[in-house]
Structure 1
Amino acid sequence: MFAEATTLPAIGGFVLLPILVILLVAVLTRRTLLALLCGTVTGALLLSGWGAFDTWTEYFGKALANETAQWLLLIIVLFGILITLFERSGIVSDFARWTERFVTSRRKSTLLTFLLSVVLFVDDYLNVLAVGASMKSVTDRYRVPRTQLGAIMKMTAAPIAVIVPFSTWALFFSGLFEAQGVTVGGSGFGAYLQAIPYVFFGWIAIVVAFLMSVGWLPKFGVLRRDAARAERDGDVFPLDTTPAEREAEGAALLAEIRSTDADGSTAQRVSAALETATETATETGAAGSEVVSTRPQAWPFLLAMVTLVGVTIVTDANVVTGTAAALAVTVVITLAQRRLRLRELLDSALVGIQSMLFVAVLTVLAFMVQEMNLTLQLADWVIAVTEPVLTPALLPAIVFAVCGVYAYATGSFWDLAAVITPVVLPLAIALGADPVLAGAAVFSGAALGSTTCLYGDGIILASRSIGIKPHNLMLAILPYAGIAAALSLVMYLIVGAVGV
């Protein structure tokens, strides 16, 4: 269907150019979509010069044909429908109102966010979408900035998935061990179980997320600024949030506050800008407001989540099947309780799909960047640059650093592991280093990239679920991920030196 791309000879450090363009444009313009588009155009120019347009369309087709991209797009669509049904049927607002029984402070709202992120360990995509949709109205009430909510979610999602052996990450990485003949007890899964204690970024990031959630860690940078503004005037959104974005995210919050707290004590102080943007929507009635009951029911949301996690686990971490099952349960509850009529339900499904179009486009462009990096031999160049300094003692630390930087720069996490592991594990064996430890360093680096990458699917989905832009979320996360990464690097230097 598409012309085969020509594999280029190594062109030195120029292979970094698409990544540098993406990061530069994203910082200067704060437009993730524009940044990714510029990066793909730069990659096409490097690959074929004046034939860049044909190459760009070729890689667009390759991204669409990528099985992982198709799998992710299907999850995006299903979750778009599920989240919209949650919101329009009142299931999420019921859950939020139910939590008021025991969530009575800012700290309790952020701690509940962390605990939900831990419970939804099966997959990081599932994690950020479900937690964001269910908790934003709860944390908004206590003036927790959306960037803080997202940072807690993202600092937990991939790290918990990489250290729990019954997740999509664990199954995939176990297969990589087995494919390279690194087994314990005759299986790659046994090797992965042995590697879990050494996935340092996963463990440390979860500790950092917990400290953030209970308020025992200072706020840095963007998060400090956003928290001060939220405390001052109740504006939980980043500064560059547009009025349309505030209206889309804020109308449901104001409608819920007014419907559940007549005396206004819970509302505290909501910003005038947010009030003005959402006034019309509130007067006409937010979607699903007719469903609000005097006694909120938490079981519809909890049943959907239990179905999602349970079906995902029993189907060998098949997130698509789990999400589809949760969607089916939600549809039955919505119709049985007459929360929405059939026509309203179908309309909600279409709105849910439309709400994810921006995320879908970002995802396709991100996969285009990954495909171009493979042809540009970026991984080979990175390995060639670092290989001369590799020793058994330094191997784990260097592998973690290289994988973390590569994953952050490219938005490639599982693909990174699939490309790097066949190089790193044999190299570790040849150097006399522990291949299980080397594999753990690869997986830590992948989790670091997933947690921080501006145009990675994890950041894109998390920012969508809480209604902010990806670059706002990334900037809030970087100081905390940097702490976890630095401590992880030190740990890998220590275990490498003592020869664990």
Structure 2
Amino acid sequence: MSQLQYTRREVAMDGASTYGILSLIPVLVVIVSAIITKRALEPLILGTLVGFVILAKQNFIVAYLDSLYGELGESAYYVVVFGLFGIYIHLLERANAISGFTKLGLKFATNKKKTGLLAWIMGIIFFLDNYFSILGAGVSNRKIADENKMSREMFAFEINSVACCTCILIPLSLWGVFMSGQLETTLGLEAGQGLQEVIKAIPFMFFAFVLLIFVLLYQFRIIKPFGLMKKAELRAEQTGKLLPEDLEEEADENENKKDVNILNFLIPMVALIVVTLVFQELLYGLIVGIVICFLMYIPQKLVGFTEAFDSIAKGFEEMFGVTAIVISAFVLQNANDELGLAPFVVNSVVDIITAPLLPVIAFIILMILGFVTGSFWGMAAVCFPIMLPLAQALDANLYLVIGAVIAGCAAGSATCFYGDSVTLTCGSIAKIRNIDYLRTSLPMLVPPIIVTIIFYLIAGFIF
């Protein structure tokens, strides 16, 4: 995503007023009500309203609407990107353009383990951005996963996990660009020097390495899925029902269509990659990819002229739920910012931090803040100016702390069930609900998080 879109969400820490423990109430309301209702949008709205009740008392409706109106204007970028996301996926599906890749992929992915490996590799290949990884790996592998009876819950877990890890381990990603800029600002470096510091911190981004390995361990059944994920996998294997029991399987409109040339998928995707890489902006890549789909599919009669242009409206329509959840999460973040949630969490532990404990505390704080706010880059912008000077003052390993902060952001992105990454994965790719991800994937993330915490504890005393 564009750096501008995230830096506008920075939260001032020095002298920030907080509401203390009351700042935790809106987030708790969201989590508890989401578990009870099995929905995401309504709990987000409810939690936000509770936040504004604390802030504005009887004027909470006015305060909420003011925040919502302001967010709708500031979040126009997301509305456009998500809409283009929907258009691009809709065109690929209507043209059956993925069938050529699916046919080729099924020659390798003859079972669920190989399917998991292929999706893992594809997620890494599309490294430019977590959105991009979700799009590329998700669209290209969903049909293959379906054919091999992988539950959509497991598919969503893998796609989102790999996306959250890859984009921080490869510094050419948009995450790398943003983090480099944050380091230059915080450490007073010259333009371009921040990237060198990010590269030096990559070996210490333990969570990304650990989660990538755990994804493979789960897929190869070296560690068997457990809890509700185990039930989801058994359901898919034994009954062939890929979606949760209370969701209807979508009709496959391309079931009787002939497979099309693989170039109908590769050319738009390669163009999307190249343009995104050159301009460091996914929005431009999506526009070019959509235009190329029009130029290729209409002459081949894979989609009709009217149908192609109807996809513009349908793409935005199909992404409405995703957009509503993400914008609602941003409004909740506004309430959290005014309540001083981030300063409260950081200030609660800053007095007990020592040099050996700083890396693990930095990781845990960024993960928690990312999970409860859904703002991963925003929390990095908040915490870098605190954690890095603290590391220098305590004579802690600077690169270990940088790696812990960035890894904490990735962990927040992987765990936050109403964050943009999970919402895109569930809504546009896996076609499941965010709460399905929370109930099945969050427990699967606990073991890699525990291992990561142990690594940071050990590293803090060694390095």
State the TM-score, normalizing by the size of structure 2.
Answer: 0.93
Q: Which deviates more from structure 2 when the two are superposed, residues 192-201 or residues 470-479?
A: 470-479
SS state at 1:429 partner: helix
Match of 2:120 in 1: 114
Match of 1:308 in 2: 272
Match of 1:267 in 2: none
Verify: 1:96 aligned to 2:102, yes or no.
yes
Which of 382, 396, 401 is equivalent to 1:438? 401
Q: What amino acid maps onto 2:337 in structure 1?
A: L
Which of 43, 49, 63 is equivalent to 1:55? 63
Match of 1:470 in 2: 434
SS state at 2:56 partner: helix
Q: Distance in 1 between matches of 2:324 and 2:116?
A: 31
SS state at 2:69 partner: helix
Q: Distance in 2 between matches of 1:146 and 1:186?
A: 41
Match of 2:9 in 1: none
Q: Distance in 1 between matches of 2:79 and 2:206?
A: 30
Q: What amino acid maps onto 1:327 in structure 2?
A: I
Match of 2:378 in 1: 415
Verify: 1:486 aligned to 2:445, yes or no.
no
Deviation at 1:371, TM superposition (A): 1.4
Q: Distance in 2 between matches of 1:342 and 1:177?
A: 49
Match of 1:453 in 2: 416
Q: CA contact under 8 A between 1:363 and 1:457: conserved in structure 2?
A: yes
Q: CA contact under 8 A between 1:155 and 1:208: conserved in structure 2?
A: no
* Aligned pairs for 1:8-47 within 5 A: 9-47=17-55
SS state at 1:359 partner: helix
Verify: 1:199 aligned to 2:163, yes or no.
no
Match of 1:168 in 2: 174
Deviation at 1:28, TM superposition (A): 0.6
Q: CA contact under 8 A between 2:225 and 2:444: conserved in structure 1?
A: no
Q: CA contact under 8 A between 1:15 and 1:377: conserved in structure 2?
A: yes
Identity %: 29
Match of 2:324 in 1: 361
Deviations for 1:276-296, whole angstroms, at most 9, x for unmatched residues?
xxxxxxxxxxxxx4xx24xx4
Deviation at 1:185, TM superposition (A): 11
Q: Distance in 1 between matches of 2:353 and 2:109?
A: 50
Verify: 1:251 aligned to 2:215, yes or no.
no
Match of 1:213 in 2: 219
Deviation at 1:64, TM superposition (A): 2.0
* Aligned pairs for 1:279-298 within 5 A: 289=257, 292-293=258-259, 296-298=260-262
Q: CA contact under 8 A between 2:366 and 2:405: conserved in structure 1?
A: yes
Q: What amino acid maps onto 1:119 in structure 2?
A: I
Deviation at 1:182, TM superposition (A): 6.0
* Aligned pairs for 1:65-144 within 5 A: 65-66=73-74, 69-144=75-150
SS state at 1:63 partner: helix
Q: CA contact under 8 A between 1:184 and 1:191: conserved in structure 2?
A: no
SS state at 1:44 partner: helix
Deviation at 1:385, TM superposition (A): 0.4
Q: What amino acid maps onto 2:244 in structure 1?
A: P
SS state at 2:55 partner: helix
RMSD: 1.8
Q: Distance in 1 between matches of 2:265 and 2:139?
A: 11
Structure 1 unpaired stretches of 5+: 1-6, 260-288
Deviation at 1:205, TM superposition (A): 1.0
Match of 1:404 in 2: 367
Q: Distance in 1 between matches of 2:213 and 2:274?
A: 26
Q: CA contact under 8 A between 2:184 and 2:191: conserved in structure 1?
A: no
Deviation at 1:321, TM superposition (A): 1.1
Match of 1:272 in 2: none
Deviation at 1:214, TM superposition (A): 2.9
Match of 1:321 in 2: 284
Verify: 1:342 aligned to 2:305, yes or no.
yes
In structure 2, do the counterparts of structure 1 residues 426 and 46 end up closer, same or farther at CA, with 3 Å as the change threshold? same
Match of 1:426 in 2: 389
Deviations for 1:336-386, whole angstroms, at most 9, x for unmatched residues?
322112111011221111000111111110110111111111111111101
Verify: 1:147 aligned to 2:153, yes or no.
yes
Deviation at 1:184, TM superposition (A): 9.6
Q: Distance in 2 between matches of 1:213 and 1:299?
A: 29
Aligned residues between the structures: 448
Deviation at 1:251, TM superposition (A): 2.9
Q: What amino acid maps onto 1:95 in structure 2?
A: F
Q: Distance in 1 between matches of 2:77 and 2:398?
A: 30
Q: CA contact under 8 A between 2:360 and 2:404: conserved in structure 1?
A: yes
Match of 1:238 in 2: 244
Match of 2:295 in 1: 332
Which of 154, 158, 163 is equivalent to 1:157? 163
Deviations for 1:204-235, whole angstroms, at most 9, x for unmatched residues?
11111222333332111111001111111111
SS state at 1:165 partner: coil
Deviations for 1:300-334, whole angstroms, at most 9, x for unmatched residues?
1122222222211111x211111112112211111
Structure 2 unpaired stretches of 5+: 1-14
